[in-house]
A and B are shown apart, each in its own frame.
Chain A
């Protein structure tokens, strides 16, 4: 149960059931669809940029608790950040999920997203956690 309890934590469960980030934006500046064909997780991110700053971000779609929580946590983290800050945070997150080394200082920057670190111990679920972050990366890097 150790693995399991470190995955289905209060933070993750809260985010997977909260819906405040799950909505459509009125005037998004961009959108991106992401899905995991093998399992069916399917989300669309809606982004509203104000110059270089992520003014608003939301998602719609469906998926497991991990993918929904990861998406909501990411939205909380990236809202208000600049494009380059967001790209850096995404890179740190993807590193910890792949079990690559990151500094304590980098880890701090992830705030609540650190709760997803232990997903790296469950290879079958890594893709669920990564989906939103890769989708966001696509949005920011085009």
Chain B
């Protein structure tokens, strides 16, 4: 299957003449996923876990099937290790509140990479402020990579939590999560992996990585908005207190006390987003049908081409690893002398959709001495023609600004 075959499933890309290069923000959805969600509401919708009637039982079944499918997709030991949330941000807040608050104390250390998205950074700042734990960062070298020496220097005894993004949403850097997890475990820390930019693009195996927690959002991998995943090792999830309290997450409720449901239900208070889970399940089927190896090879080919074309433009500065084997299909760059917002506006007028700004990673940009960058992020439905459009639009941008520079 090629990206050209895949693209046919995305009506939004066929109905509009656009080069959509912002899949790191959210992906487009194939008709198979849209139909699966539609079909759920047309034939199986009811409140799961509530009714004894057939429809409610059906809704419960599809919800449980989705959980089992997610577990298998990332090679978790069992479906109970998968908690559904709204998105990766909510998953990370759950970990920060239900694990971080109770397991960290004054002078314990939390170590994050400087390239974390705000979602894996701001919650830990809060935990640090509340518990007195010390927050430290692993910094990057000029290639946008965290050197092994930095990992070993920062992950030392006393560190209790290590937060690491598997793929940087700004630089595209693929971090050595397996080595970081090994080091974290040697010093008695747990590792929290933000896989928002990796699970949609590469084969992720939580057991191989030995991740204690791993999170991602459905909407960045072909699913509807509003469904996210928290993977946690069962023994950790079982020891944690609930995050949100209320309906469905309970066992017995008395006037003054409550016992909680077993994991994962303990962490899923209130009526859940079954339609979203169905969409995610369908997205996983869609990706499995293509095969994650094919997904990777399509993206690698596009990355090589995009990197080559952008490198040929002498007025463009590219950030992130030059070794493309350490680089996922995200490229940050700047057009010399032109602010990224002006670039993205002019690109938009040429029907090229890119992101500009700080990409929810202000500490990273500040560390790099930048205010903002332009970013393209590719997916399986992109083509070389999309990248040609980008390059032509960049030439146009340069032309418009040239007489003023």
Residues of A near any B CB (own CB < 8 A) = 1, 3-4, 7-8, 13-14, 16-17, 38-42, 62-66, 122, 124-125, 128
Contacts and interface: CB of A to CB of B under 8 A. Distances in A.
A39 B345 contact: no
Q: Which 5 A-B pairs rank lowest in CB-CB distance, beginning with the nearest? A: A64-B339, A64-B341, A4-B349, A40-B372, A13-B404
B345 A7 contact: yes
A40 B400 contact: no
Contacts of A3: 349
Given A39-B356, A40-B358, A40-B371, A1 B349 contact: yes
Contacts of A65: 338-339, 342, 401
B348 interface: yes
25 contacts: A1-B349, A3-B349, A4-B346, A4-B349, A4-B400, A7-B345, A8-B342, A8-B346, A8-B400, A8-B401, A13-B401, A17-B404, A38-B357, A39-B372, A40-B358, A40-B371, A40-B372, A41-B341, A62-B371, A63-B339, A64-B339, A64-B341, A65-B338, A65-B401, A125-B345
Given A40-B371, A65-B339, A124 B357 contact: no
Given A13-B401, A16-B404, A17-B404, 15 more contacts: A1-B349, A4-B346, A13-B404, A38-B357, A39-B358, A39-B372, A40-B357, A41-B341, A62-B371, A64-B342, A65-B338, A65-B342, A66-B341, A66-B342, A128-B341
Contacts of A128: 341
Nearest to B372: A40
A122 B372 contact: no
Q: Which of B342, B371, B400 counts the most chain A CB atoms within 10 A?
A: B342
B134 to A, nearest CB: 26
Contacts of B341: 39, 41, 63-64, 66, 125, 128
A1 B339 CA distance: 19
Contacts of A64: 339-342
Contacts of A38: 357
Contacts of A1: 349
B356 A122 contact: no
Interface string B325-340: 0000000000000111
Contacts of A42: 371
Contacts of B358: 39-40
Interface string B193-236: 00000000000000000000000000000000000000000000
A88 B87 CA distance: 45
Nearest to A127: B341
A66 B340 CA distance: 12
Nearest to A16: B404
B368 to A, nearest CB: 13
A17 B400 CA distance: 14
A7 B346 CA distance: 10
Contact of A39 (B346, B357, B400): B357
A10 to B, nearest CB: 9
Nearest to B356: A39
A139 B3 CA distance: 54
Interface in B332-370: 338-342, 345-346, 348-349, 356-358
A39 B365 CA distance: 12
B242 to A, nearest CB: 32
B16 to A, nearest CB: 17
Contacts of B339: 63-65
A125 B356 CA distance: 12
Contacts of B342: 8, 64-66
Interface string B367-399: 000011000000000000000000000000000
A34 to B, nearest CB: 15
Contacts of A14: 404
Given A17-B404, A42-B371, A122 B357 contact: no
A65 B342 CA distance: 7
Contacts of A122: 345
Contacts of B349: 1, 3-4
A110 B340 CA distance: 28
B346 to A, nearest CB: 6
Nearest to B345: A125
B152 to A, nearest CB: 34
A102 to B, nearest CB: 25
Contacts of A39: 341, 356-358, 372
Nearest to A14: B404
Contacts of B372: 39-40
Nearest to A68: B339
Contacts of A17: 404-405
